[in-house]
């Protein structure tokens, strides 16, 4: 009888173990998302700093509601992520007129082996430190490097993991931020991911191609890295250079991120950034920074978390090399500052 009981328990255990393995292969449909809303006040009483998303002055405004679905069956998976609201529409890419939503991610993947995966569709860009979703950013206002760089790339890419610490992605992509490339699949991109020590990951990125209407081939080189120094301290760095051929200009800059978690619920972080626009004959202004000029920005943010809710109070000071902001009298000035409060709920 005892033997029978033992065998029964063992069989059930094995069944539960094999069920767990099967469950891992056919994961349930994941549903997640976020909503965000904010209040921003520029001390010049007019919208001044060219940050993405948190742009409305002296207004309790909305960001977006973001809904994401993910499903994995065996080696195949898909992600579909839609956003509704200014942050996901005009704030990101497409005109609010005629577009009732914006796709953040829409792609399918297939893992041919444990080491090699192919992905195709419309994806968040692999360039840069910050992203559109407020959930994955520490600061609510965004950096110049984020706003000037690509937000999303449609394309097909293959990723090969040489080891746990080194992997390489190579892909073909459309122009930046478009669902359809009118001049053909025009860009090639690559990302080398290196994790030298536990907690430190570095991404070396390149994306190059001629966009529709551009005067030359544009190439962006980007380094994005972060290091969890201790349980509480995290350091991040983003440096990028974008050059457009035929004297088409471009930009370069770097942003340093320092964050300290005083507790699991309360963190404080500072972002310091330098951004300049290249002085070229065919160059154009980037985010109010005219060719040959630059701007430095310091942003201090807190993250106070309760459950899925994050409260982000933030102050930001920007200082240009030339007059690129305005005072409350609308006279030009070199500096600007703003204060914002944001609520981000992730589910």
Residues lying near another protein in the complex (CB under 8 A) are found at 5-6, 9-10, 13-14, 16-17, 21, 28-32, 34, 68, 70, 79, 81, 104-105, 107, 123-126, 131-133, 135-136, 198-199, 228, 230-231, 234, 263-266, 304-307, 346-347
Residue closer to another protein by CB (options 121, 249) is 121
Closest distance of CB 338 from another protein, Å: 25
HSE (side-chain half, CA atoms, 13 Å) at 122: 17
Closest distance of CB 10 from another protein, Å: 4
Distances (CA, A) of 273 to 231, 241, 265: 25, 14, 26
Residue closer to another protein by CB (options 191, 337) is 191
Q: DSSP labels for 247-291?
A: TTEEEEEEEEEEEEESSSSEEEEEEEEEEEE---TT---BTTB-T
Residue closer to another protein by CB (options 21, 180) is 21
Q: Which residue, 148, 126, 169, is CA-closest to 244?
A: 148
Closest distance of CB 217 from another protein, Å: 25
- Nearest 5 degrees, angle CA 235-CA 237-CA 333? 110
Closest distance of CB 334 from another protein, Å: 33
Residue closer to another protein by CB (options 108, 214) is 108
Residue closer to another protein by CB (options 16, 246) is 16
**109 in Cβ contact with 76 (< 8 Å):** yes
Closest distance of CB 265 from another protein, Å: 4
Closest distance of CB 119 from another protein, Å: 8
Residue closer to another protein by CB (options 43, 311) is 311
Strands, E assignment, 74-184: 76-84, 102-111, 116-124, 152-161, 166-176
Closest distance of CB 12 from another protein, Å: 8
3-state secondary structure of 340: strand
**197 in Cβ contact with 181 (< 8 Å):** no
Q: Is the Cα dihedral 289, 294, 296, 301 positive or negative?
A: positive
In angstroms, the CA 336 to CA 48 distance is: 7
Residue closer to another protein by CB (options 80, 245) is 80
């Amino acid at each position: 009888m005892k033997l029978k009981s033992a065998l029964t328990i063992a069989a059930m255990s094995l069944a539960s173990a094999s069920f767990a393995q099967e469950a891992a292969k056919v994961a349930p449909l994941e549903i997640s998302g976020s909503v965000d809303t904010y209040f921003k006040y520029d001390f010049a009483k007019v919208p001044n700093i060219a940050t993405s998303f948190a742009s409305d002055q002296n207004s309790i405004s909305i960001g977006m509601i973001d809904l994401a679905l993910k499903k994995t069956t065996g080696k195949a998976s898909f992600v579909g992520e839609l956003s509704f609201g200014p942050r996901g529409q005009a704030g990101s890419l497409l005109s609010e007129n005629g577009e009732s939503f914006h796709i953040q991610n829409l792609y399918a993947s297939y893992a041919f082996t444990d080491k090699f995966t192919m992905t195709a569709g419309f994806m968040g860009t692999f360039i840069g430190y910050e992203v559109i979703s407020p959930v994955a950013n520490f600061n609510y206002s965004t950096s110049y490097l984020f706003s000037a760089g690509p937000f999303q790339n449609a394309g097909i890419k293959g990723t090969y993991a040489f080891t746990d610490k080194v992997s390489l992605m190579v892909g073909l992509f459309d122009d930046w931020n478009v669902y359809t490339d009118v001049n053909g699949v025009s860009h090639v991109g690559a990302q080398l991911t290196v994790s030298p020590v536990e907690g430190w990951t570095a991404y070396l990125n390149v994306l190059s191609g001629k966009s529709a209407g551009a005067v030359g081939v544009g190439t962006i080189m980007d380094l994005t890295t972060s290091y969890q120094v201790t349980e509480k301290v995290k350091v991040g760095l983003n440096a990028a250079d974008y050059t457009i051929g035929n004297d088409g200009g471009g930009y370069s800059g770097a942003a340093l991120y320092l964050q300290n978690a005083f507790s699991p619920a309360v963190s404080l972080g500072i972002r310091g950034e330098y951004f300049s626009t290249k002085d070229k004959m065919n160059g154009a202004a980037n985010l109010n920074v005219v060719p040959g000029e630059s701007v430095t920005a310091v942003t201090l943010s807190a993250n106070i978390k309760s459950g899925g809710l994050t409260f982000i109070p933030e102050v930001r000071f920007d200082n240009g090399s030339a007059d690129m902001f305005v005072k409350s009298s609308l006279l030009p000035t070199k500096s600007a500052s703003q204060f914002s409060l944001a609520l981000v709920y992730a589910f």
